[in-house]
């Protein structure tokens, strides 16, 4: 009997092993685009369509009109269902690794086709595949009040408005998920909002912004002015490119430009962050290190809690780009708010080059020596450069600026946790200075955030309420001084991390940044002066449809309970 059991066990084991080794390994792909719940583009370029089943289109089409008439529903309801169906499929599949097998997409052990058939969005012969699920979706649409937000003009329309049919870049949202001003259709467009006015260009010095309020989903395109400027300088570099970045997530245009630069003989060196376990916060960093093999990381540093948080580039020892933008798709596509400065100066480039060389040789964090010269005069524009942790930029630059401010201090920033900086801002407020701060929604829940103390002291602090992050680390003072850099207003930024900061003394640039700050300030409802917007959920516009885990809880969009209100309506 025992021999029989053993024989059967061996047969079962070999059968399972056979299945494992017989399953092809070359049919695993990543979903990079979702055209509809029945139409997917994989990273191999393969287009997967479920031809036996259809769904509503996400635009007004004759096909939608025909199917709507057949089902006795309105054309607008078909349009909304088409968009909600596309969002449902994107949230479930975009970015996932899948196996293309027998006309289906398999992820983990799940069949996408089965989920699609019973989703309520699937049509078979122009009729619902599952009538009960379809009725549930349709009733939710009829009970809800939906608006169409034009992402190019920030104007809201009802789905019945004829102008919706002409829109190219839009998103369909439940009315309750829009800021109050947009719900009232009284939203005033600010002149600075046009993309052509999100950059200052004097030739030898440029400033660029990206705007979290105008892009509700990240992508892999190099579509922001920030990314285009970096790309332009990679493409025209002739001899050297030195890059110091926190990490990397794939932006194909940047990657292709770097490959082309290597081919034409440009020497490219990379410095990047690595934690004590040999990891990096961004998923494609090590793919970049394979491409740019001339590199160095801070893994060897004895300070395990510190990070290499810089984001700067030096091109041909002449052009310097620095600021708050990581080399990530969320920053490069303009999903997050960031600011960078481009400086055409061999003197400024050489200062950053000395800092780069220290890290490249393995001296990170507190092992670095202080840079001897840090001031540059660029045709009347004074630049003061600081590096962390050796220069103590908060103590020696930010706090003195706050203490001598007379009119205003405006701060768009990822976070404020530093006690001494907070005290300086309170002092400024007490002597009558207008202090306004925008901080990232997620960091309003951070343990050491000082925003509550600042509010209690009478300072106006808004948490942003959009899908992207307020990622800038800036300060504008009295139409004269502008702070741009990689360093957050934190103890770690001051005392542990590798960071950089530029203080720009130029009235044109300060006035330009002030307009952009006030534009974003006005985009955020005054409700968030008192309350803290949740980074994922109905508080933050677009956060439940952006494909991003905004609150880092391991759950994305519809998987997150914070999006339950929106999930239930779908």
Which sequence positions are flagged as catalytic? Answer: 471, 473, 478
Which candidate, 557, 541, 469, 523, places its Cα nearest to that of 176?
541
Q: Helical H runs in 394-524? A: 399-404, 419-430, 451-456, 491-495, 507-523
Distance CA 38, CA 58 (A): 12
And the tokens for 263? 């081919």
Q: Are 314 and 242 in contact (CB under 8 A)?
A: yes
To the nearest 10 degrees (0 to 180), the angle between helices 131-143 and 75-93 is 110
Distance CA 417, CA 305 (A): 17
And the tokens for 504? 């720009």
Sign of CA dihedral 346, 349, 350, 353: negative
- E-strand stretches of 176-219: 199-201, 205-210
Q: Which residues contact 118 (CB under 8 A, 6 or more apart)?
A: 129, 130, 133
- Residue 371: strand pairing partners: none
Distance CA 476, CA 64 (A): 50
- Residue 50: strand pairing partners: none
And the tokens for 296? 């160095």
And the tokens for 120? 């309520």
Residue 344, judged by CB atoms within 10 A of its CB (0-12, 13-18, 19+), counts as middle
Give me the sheet containing 338-344, strands edge to edge: 199-201, 205-210, 338-344, 319-323, 311-315, 240-245, 267-272, 295-297
Q: Are strands 408-413 and 434-439 parallel, antiparallel or unpaired?
A: parallel
And the tokens for 305? 């809690």
């Amino acid at each position: 009997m025992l021999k029989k059991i053993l024989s059967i066990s061996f047969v079962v084991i070999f059968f399972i092993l056979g299945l494992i080794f017989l399953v092809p390994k070359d049919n695993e792909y990543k979903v990079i685009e979702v055209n509809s719940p029945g139409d997917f583009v994989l990273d191999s370029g393969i287009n997967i369509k479920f031809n036996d089943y259809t769904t509503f289109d996400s635009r007004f089409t004759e096909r939608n009109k025909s199917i709507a008439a057949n089902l006795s529903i309105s054309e607008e309801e078909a349009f909304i269902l088409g968009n909600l169906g596309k969002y449902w499929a994107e949230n479930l599949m975009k970015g996932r690794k899948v196996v293309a097998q027998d006309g289906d997409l398999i992820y983990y052990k799940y069949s996408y086709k089965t989920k699609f058939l019973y989703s309520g969005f699937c049509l078979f012969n122009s009729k619902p595949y599952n009538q009960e699920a379809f009725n549930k979706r349709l009733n939710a649409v009829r009970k809800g009040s939906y608006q169409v937000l034009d992402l190019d003009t920030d104007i809201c329309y009802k789905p019945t408005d004829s102008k919706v049919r002409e829109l190219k870049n839009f998103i369909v949202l439940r009315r309750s998920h829009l800021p109050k001003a947009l719900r009232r259709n009284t939203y005033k467009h600010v002149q600075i909002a046009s993309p052509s006015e999100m950059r200052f260009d004097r030739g030898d010095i440029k400033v660029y912004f990206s705007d979290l309020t105008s892009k509700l989903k990240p992508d892999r395109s190099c579509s922001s002015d920030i990314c285009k400027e970096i790309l332009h300088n990679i493409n025209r570099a002739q001899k050297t490119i030195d890059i110091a970045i926190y990490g990397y997530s794939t932006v194909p245009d940047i990657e292709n430009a770097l490959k082309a630069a290597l081919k034409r003989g440009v020497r490219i060196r990379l410095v990047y962050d690595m934690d004590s376990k040999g990891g990096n916060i961004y998923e494609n960093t090590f793919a970049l290190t394979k491409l740019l093999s001339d590199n160095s990381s801070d893994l060897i540093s004895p300070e395990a809690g510190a990070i290499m948080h810089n984001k700067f580039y030096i091109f041909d020892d002449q052009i310097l780009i620095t600021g708050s933008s990581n080399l990530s798709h969320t920053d490069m596509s303009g999903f997050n708010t960031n600011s960078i400065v481009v400086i055409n100066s061999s003197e400024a480039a050489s200062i950053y080059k000395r800092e780069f060389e220290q890290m490249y040789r393995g001296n990170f964090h507190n092992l670095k020596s202080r840079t001897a010269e840090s001031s540059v005069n660029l045709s009347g524009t004074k630049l003061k450069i600081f590096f962390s942790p050796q220069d103590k930029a908060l103590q020696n630059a930010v706090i003195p600026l706050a203490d001598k401010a007379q009119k205003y201090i405006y701060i768009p920033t990822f976070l404020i946790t530093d006690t001494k900086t907070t005290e300086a801002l309170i002092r400024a407020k007490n002597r009558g200075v207008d202090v306004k701060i925008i901080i990232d929604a997620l960091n309003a829940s951070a343990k050491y955030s000082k925003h509550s103390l600042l509010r209690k002291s009478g300072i106006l602090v808004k948490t942003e309420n959009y899908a992207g992050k307020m990622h800038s680390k800036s300060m504008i003072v009295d139409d004269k001084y502008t702070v741009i850099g990689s360093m957050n207003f934190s103890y770690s930024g001051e005392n542990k991390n590798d960071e950089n900061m530029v203080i720009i003394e130029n009235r044109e640039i300060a006035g330009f940044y002030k307009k952009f700050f006030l534009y974003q300030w006005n985009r955020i409802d005054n409700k968030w002066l008192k309350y803290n917007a949740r980074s994922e959920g109905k508080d933050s516009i677009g956060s439940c449809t952006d494909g991003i885990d905004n609150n880092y809880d391991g759950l994305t969009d519809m998987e997150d309970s914070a999006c339950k209100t929106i999930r239930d309506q779908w």
